[in-house]
């Protein structure tokens, strides 16, 4: 067992695992084999290499962009910066993006990108050069654009890299009105949207909250209903893991364990997520945190400690048939893409567990990216045109009620009722509605369709049916 949770085994055949899950779910649909093959296959796989200056010499960079499905346009998916990136992984992640968008009813096809580097080994200037050259290569092959293919952040990339991509695309397409819609996950100052940074983690937390609210399902796996007091272990303290833990704690859960590549910490009485985050920021490690009751130098041991819910939010293939029997959690909520192998999933369900699948659980990011894309196309922030109107209407309503009843509200009560929604509040409302509706749509298929034995299969069935309808309506041309 690898000690480093960030190591991805290139021999795991990630795309094969996704296809295996697809094929299993497809038997519960009524579509012909040719249509299913079209849905499953990657439409376009672009692998390329380009040189950069490194010191006094050159270095050749390997990179990919995969467009899995154009049943909806544009295609959408993040760009991963990692030494472990390979073509199989990018294809798998692109496919998952297709199904993910269908599950949460976001009108995009799936795509994904990868640059085979460790960002820590490069200066900021070198990273900028790599990112801009990568963008130019995509432009040359028509693999990027607000109506073609819209990248976003992924592991190893963030707002900074998305800014470089946006600027490069706009520079190479002078006068294009919607140029900023060519990439999402941008900072607010560069036409990003409030709430995007924490969207994936918030979505994971909402997904878990909805899951544990269903009394029938909780009774079956031996847990009480509700998020309050549930003991959670989170793997990964990056953007997704940190915000998942943060919002779960706000919802009332107890974060008992945190795992990172340098090790893991555990305290049955709970950990202060923000304090751990700041400790790691200052020391470079979660180890040595004063509030930890137990430390593990092998981070994988942290996954096996006592808890109710495990949130793997690092990389794929973290829970396998080698360690799944040691997992004590009753629920695995997949914050990362593909953290649970198919064989491990079978064992976990046989043990009486429940898995909230990645295709749904981490869809908060693409949902809010969709909102950002809409904002970029409309060229106006959400709430800007109607917030003052809402506040005026609410003020008139409150004044009328106070006049009729003779009861005056306190200033705090008035401000709470009168205040119009900000962009952040609207984004969070849209995200929450999306995650809630999608979960119960998946669960309805799971609970009402005979022989569908996992939430993942139910999610796949729903996605396949939606994508099939799109392809049938599009037809084939010529």
Point out the annotated binding site for substrate.
76, 100, 369
Cα 263 to Cα 353: distance, rounded to the nearest angstrom: 26
Q: What is the DSSP string of 166-210?
A: HHHHHHHSTT-TTGGGG--S--GGGT--TTSTTHHHHHHHHHHHH
Cα 195 to chain centroid distance, Å, stands at 13
112: annotated active-site residue:
yes
- Residues at the annotated binding site? 76, 100, 200, 239, 369
Quote the Cα angle for 249-325-245, to 5°. 10
How many residues are listed for the chain in this entry?
478
| Count of beta carbons in the 10 Å neighbourhood of residue 413 | 11
Q: How big is the CA angle at 194 (ends 192 and 198), to the nearest 5 degrees? A: 105
Nearest-angstrom CA–CA distance, 110 and 71: 9
331-333/294-296 β-pairing: unpaired
Classify 77 as helix, strand or coil: strand
Question: What residues form the annotated binding site for NAD(+)?
Answer: 200, 239
- Measuring CA to CA, which residue among 96, 88, 112 is closest to residue 11? 88
Q: Residue 379 CB: number of other CB atoms within 10 A?
A: 11
Which residue out of 112, 230, 330, 375 is catalytically annotated? Answer: 112
For 214-247, give one letter per residue: b (16+ CB within 10 A) or e: beebbeeeebeeebeebbbbbbbbbbbbbbbbbb
Q: Distance between CA atoms of 264 and 237, rounded to whole angstroms?
A: 11
Q: Which of 237, 220, 240 is nearest to 153 (CA)?
A: 240
Q: Measure the CA–CA gap between 341 and 259, rounded to whole angstroms.
A: 19
Q: Which of 2, 410, 473, 431 is nearest to 198 (CA)?
A: 431
- 3-class DSSP string for 431-455: HHHHHHHHHHHHHHHHHHCCCCCCH
Q: 85 and 159 in contact (C-beta within 8 Å)? A: no
CA 239 and chain centroid, separation:
10
Would you name the residues annotated as active-site residues?
A: 112
């Amino acid at each position: 067992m690898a000690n480093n949770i960030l190591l991805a085994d290139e021999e795991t055949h990630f795309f094969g695992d996704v296809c295996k899950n697809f094929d299993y779910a497809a038997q519960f649909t009524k579509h012909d084999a040719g249509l299913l093959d079209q849905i499953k296959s990657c439409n376009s796989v672009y692998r390329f290499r380009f040189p950069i200056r490194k010191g006094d010499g050159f270095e050749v960079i390997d990179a990919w962009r995969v467009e899995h499905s154009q049943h909806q346009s544009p295609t959408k998916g993040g760009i991963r910066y990692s030494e472990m990136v390979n073509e199989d992984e990018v294809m798998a992640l692109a496919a998952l993006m297709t199904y993910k968008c269908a599950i949460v009813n976001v009108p995009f096809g799936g795509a994904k990108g990868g640059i085979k580097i460790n960002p820590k080994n490069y200066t900021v200037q070198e990273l900028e050069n790599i990112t801009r050259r990568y963008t130019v290569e995509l432009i040359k092959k028509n693999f990027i654009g607000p109506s073609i293919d819209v990248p976003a952040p992924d592991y190893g990339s963030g707002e900074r890299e998305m800014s470089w991509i946006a600027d490069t695309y706009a520079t190479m397409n002078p006068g294009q009105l919607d140029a900023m819609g060519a990439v999402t996950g941008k900072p607010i100052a560069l036409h990003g949207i409030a709430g995007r940074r924490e969207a994936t983690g918030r979505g994971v937390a909402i997904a878990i909250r909805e899951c544990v609210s269903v009394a029938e399902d909780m009774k079956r796996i031996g847990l009480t209903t509700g998020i309050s007091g549930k003991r959670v272990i989170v793997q990964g303290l990056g953007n997704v893991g940190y915000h998942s833990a943060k919002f779960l704690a706000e919802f009332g859960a107890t974060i008992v364990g945190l795992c990172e590549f340098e090790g893991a910490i555990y305290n049955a009485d709970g950990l202060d997520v923000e304090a751990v985050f700041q400790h790691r920021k200052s020391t470079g490690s979660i180890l040595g945190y004063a509030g930890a009751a137990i430390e593990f130098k092998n981070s994988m041991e942290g996954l096996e400690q006592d808890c109710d819910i495990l949130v793997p939010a690092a990389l794929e293939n973290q829970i396998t048939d080698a360690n799944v029997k040691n997992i004590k959690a009753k629920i695995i909520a997949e914050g990362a893409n593909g953290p649970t192998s198919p064989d491990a999933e079978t064992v976990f369900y046989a043990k009486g567990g429940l898995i909230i699948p990645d295709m749904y659980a981490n869809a908060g990011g693409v949902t809010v990216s969709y909102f950002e894309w809409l904002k970029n196309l409309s060229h106006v922030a959400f709430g800007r045109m109607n917030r003052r109107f809402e506040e005026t209407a609410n003020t008139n309503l409150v004044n009328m009620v106070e006049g009729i009843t003779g009861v005056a509200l306190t200033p705090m009560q008035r401000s709470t009722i009168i205040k119009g929604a900000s962009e952040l509040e609207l984004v969070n409302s849209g995200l929450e509605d999306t995650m809630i509706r999608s979960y119960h749509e998946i669960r309805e298929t799971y609970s009402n369709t005979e022989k569908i034995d996992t939430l993942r299969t139910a999610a796949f069935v729903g996605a396949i049916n939606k994508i099939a309808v799109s392809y049938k309506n599009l037809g084939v041309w010529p």
